[in-house]
């Protein structure tokens, strides 16, 4: 591992000031960053510990929503009464995401900042990775790509974002609260992540030295009818081949609003407005769900080894909607 300087920030302003002047990286649980540093994928000169900043509260907001501190651990969020009762899909997503030991260390902010687990990115022994080494090409396009993107990819990168939590946050219309040298701003979670495009090395829209300080959730519409389904090769600590977060607002037997997002299929949680619109105004039912599933996977561009994910995704959408609607599976 490359040597680095390490220091504890005394306040959010202190952390931002240090990051701005040194180019340092923020360090909380370290469950992803430290792994990447050990292999030489990440080589920061400075680490700024933000674990003592008190960004751990989970509180109600004036509009009836919830604000989650960026330093709250995944375990704390998943088990918090406000989350389990108002936003159960978020709790389900987090609990499916990793082992208990990792959830005890990983933080909300770190979960959003985690990087792809594409093997060509994770191992510097592979020279071709646009995300790690711009200009070298994407080895996954013609290599091992069974776990890679169906949507939003191009010739530069076909990696997927690994977060389960972010998929659930997407259907909940969450916001990411950040502070930086330019002040504070609030970013809708759907605008937080980026597709490869011209800069595949960039995963999100944060500016230099900006720090995530919290995640906001609006008042819940899906407390009674939601589900997170993660399909993976093994149950214990595996990333999603396909995952689905769904939420339904049902009144008098009719779907009044719906949220549907896919994970494991793009460099960001993949939300499809057409699929959501196909659910609204209709009674929950298998045929309605099948149509939504077809729309959710419409436009998929599978690679050589991951075409099975299209059919897998359709079945996963139908099953998740069926469970969320409390219908027989």
Determine the 3-state secondary structure of 107 from DSSP. Answer: strand
Whole-number Cα distances in Å, 273 to 68, 85, 92, 205, 223: 26, 26, 23, 22, 20
CATH superfamily, domain at 226-324: CO dehydrogenase flavoprotein, C-terminal domain (3.30.390.50)
Tokens 């937080």 belong to 192
CB 82 within 8 A of CB 57: no
Determine the 3-state secondary structure of 156 from DSSP. Answer: coil
Rounded to 10 degrees, what is the CA torsion of 323, 237, 118, 73?
90
pLDDT value of residue 278: 98
pLDDT value of residue 235: 85
Whole-number Cα distances in Å, 21 to 46, 148, 206: 11, 37, 17
Tokens of 271: 């939300």
Tokens 């959010």 belong to 12
- 93-103 pLDDT tens trace: 999 998 999 99
Domain boundaries, the chain: 226-324
Provide the 8-state DSSP code for 206: P
Backbone phi, then psi, for 177, in 5-degree steps? -95, 125
- 178-192 pLDDT tens trace: 999 999 999 999 999
- 284-324 pLDDT tens trace: 999 999 999 999 999 999 999 999 999 999 999 999 999 99
Mean pLDDT of 19-24: 98
Query: In the predicted model, is pLDDT for residue 329 greater than 90?
Result: no
């Amino acid at each position: 591992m490359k040597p680095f300087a390490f220091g504890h920030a005394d306040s959010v302003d202190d952390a931002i000031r240090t990051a701005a002047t040194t180019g340092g990286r923020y360090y909380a649980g370290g469950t992803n960053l430290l792994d990447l540093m050990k292999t030489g994928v990440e080589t920061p000169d400075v680490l700024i510990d933000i674990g003592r900043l008190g960004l751990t509260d989970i509180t109600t907001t004036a509009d009836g929503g919830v604000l989650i501190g960026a330093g709250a651990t995944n375990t704390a969020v998943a088990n918090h009464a406000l989350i389990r009762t108002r936003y159960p899909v978020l709790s389900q997503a987090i609990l499916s995401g990793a082992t208990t030991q990792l959830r005890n260390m990983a933080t909300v902010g770190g979960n959003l900042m985690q990087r792809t687990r594409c093997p060509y990115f994770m191992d510097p022994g592979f020279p071709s990775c646009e995300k790690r080494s711009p200009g070298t090409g994407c080895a996954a396009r013609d290599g091992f790509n069974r776990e890679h993107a169906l949507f939003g990819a191009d010739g530069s990168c076909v990696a997927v974002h690994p977060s389960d939590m972010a998929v659930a946050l997407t259907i909940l219309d969450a916001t990411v609260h950040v502070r930086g040298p330019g002040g504070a701003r609030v970013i809708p979670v759907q605008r937080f992540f980026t597709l490869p495009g011209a800069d595949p090395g960039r995963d999100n829209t944060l500016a230099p030295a900006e720090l995530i300080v919290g995640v906001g959730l609006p008042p819940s519409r899906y407390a009674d009818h939601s589900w997170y389904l993660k399909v993976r090769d093994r149950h214990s600590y595996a990333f999603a081949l396909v995952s689905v977060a769904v939420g339904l607002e049902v009144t008098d037997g009719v779907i009044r609003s719906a949220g549907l997002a896919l994970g494991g299929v793009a460099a960001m949680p993949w939300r499809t407005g057409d699929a959501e619109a196909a659910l609204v105004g209709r009674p929950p039912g298998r045929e309605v769900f099948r149509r939504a599933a077809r729309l959710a996977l419409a436009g998929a561009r599978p690679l050589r080894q991951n075409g099975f994910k299209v059919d897998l995704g359709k079945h996963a959408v139908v099953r998740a909607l069926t469970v969320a609607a409390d219908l027989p599976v």
